[in-house]
Amino acid sequence: MILTVTLNTALDLTYGVPELVPHASHRVSDISERPGGKGLNVARVLAALGHETVVTGFAGGSTGAVLRELLADLPTRDARSQDARSSDTRSRGAGANGPEADTTRPGPRPETAVVPGGEDDRAIPTGSAPAPHASPAPRTAPAPIIDALVTVAGNTRRTIAVVDRTTGDTTQLNEPGPLISADEWSAFLDRYEELLAEVDAVALCGSLPPGIHVGAYAELIRPARAAGVPVLLDTSGEPLRRGIAARPDLIKPNADELAQLTGSRDPLRATRDARRRGAHGVVASLGPDGMLAVTPDGVWQASPPDRVRGNPTGAGDSAVAGLLSGLVEGLGWPDRLRRAVALSTATVLSPTAGDFDRAAYEELLPGVGVEEHPRVA
């Protein structure tokens, strides 16, 4: 079982309008809602791949209640959605209708640093399972997503996307999240440590809500390492800088986050620097150029077979799901990267923002190229 942590969960709302005009009043043509936050997005993809996943973090108020209701129905609804899609996704560009979501309703709900090679330098195991690229990805039944969210007094935040249905352009509004008290943080820590005893890997994802100290991820990495649970950190800014010093097994920054952390725009130099700061492995998302992995076991770059057009929302979260699923299945690094790149690209191609297109994933996986580079010390 895999644990994903989303400290700043969200209810993602999408409002479609025929045309978005600044300073004007608009009639909303369609409204959709889904549980959101990076860790919940990761869990969604893991469940679709057949991995039982438990999610924790915070949820509160009427918005949190809606989020949990939608979360309970995710695997079943996603299976219906995937089964309904049958198109040549490899040639699909960005749709004119822009992002869609899972549940369409007639209106909104009421407001209800270590140097690699040291004695503590451990790597995520490479394993020796058969390569998944030898044949199309097997179809698996969706696995459960277990709700282990901690209830808080504040109201879970909303993220609001206003989509211009003429152009497909999206305007995003993100609330900050509820203020988390010291007692609520303590209750979460108790829940988190209980869960660590039951899981094979953990992903710590996303931003921090108000009230949570900037070193929170470092505080969560230490007990995971003590329990022998591999931990992947996917955040940015100061939380990433503090977290990396606690020696996570893997970080997955994008190019901008990596440059902010290290001051370098050269991907290979920056990933090497990030390892020296404490991460045992670094997988950098390079957008259409794929991913670069610098690990104790070697250095690889994985690239999709073709450049694609579409909506990149959630592509990084799908990549995290690919890396984690490959880890618990015992795949070697090249095959983990193939899966992560194929899932990420299939998310860009999906007609629904943040989902991955199953047909595209199965088609892309055999064609993802992985090149091994000389080892970086």
Query: Torsion angle, CA of 366/2/100/310, rounded to 10 degrees?
Result: -30
Question: What pLDDT was estimated at residue 312?
Answer: 81
Apex CA 70: angle with CA 310 and CA 8, to 5°?
75
Encode burial over 33-66: b for 16+ CB neighbours within 10 A, e otherwise: bbbbbbbbbbbbbbbbbebebbbbbbbbbebbbb
Strand, coil or helix: 300: strand
Question: What pLDDT was estimated at residue 246?
Answer: 97
Question: What pLDDT was estimated at residue 279?
Answer: 96
Question: What pLDDT was estimated at residue 73?
Answer: 86
Whole-angstrom CA distances from 249 to 11, 224, 232, 292, 313 are 30, 10, 6, 16, 25
Burial of residue 84, with CB atoms counted within 10 A of its CB: 0-12 exposed, 13-18 middle, 19 or more buried? exposed
Question: What pLDDT was estimated at residue 78?
Answer: 57
Question: What pLDDT was estimated at residue 91?
Answer: 40
Q: What does the alpha-carbon distance between residue 295 and residue 87 come to, in Å, rounded to a whole number?
A: 37
Beta bridge partners of 60: 152
Question: What pLDDT was estimated at residue 313?
Answer: 81
Question: What pLDDT was estimated at residue 351?
Answer: 67
Per-residue pLDDT of 249-284, as tens digits, reads: 999 999 999 999 999 999 999 999 999 999 999 999
Question: What pLDDT was estimated at residue 243?
Answer: 97
Residues of the chain with confidence (pLDDT) below 70: 75-139, 351-353, 375-377
DSSP E strand stretches across the chain: 2-6, 10-17, 30-36, 53-60, 103-105, 145-147, 150-152, 157-164, 170-174, 201-205, 231-234, 250-251, 282-285, 291-295, 298-303, 369-373
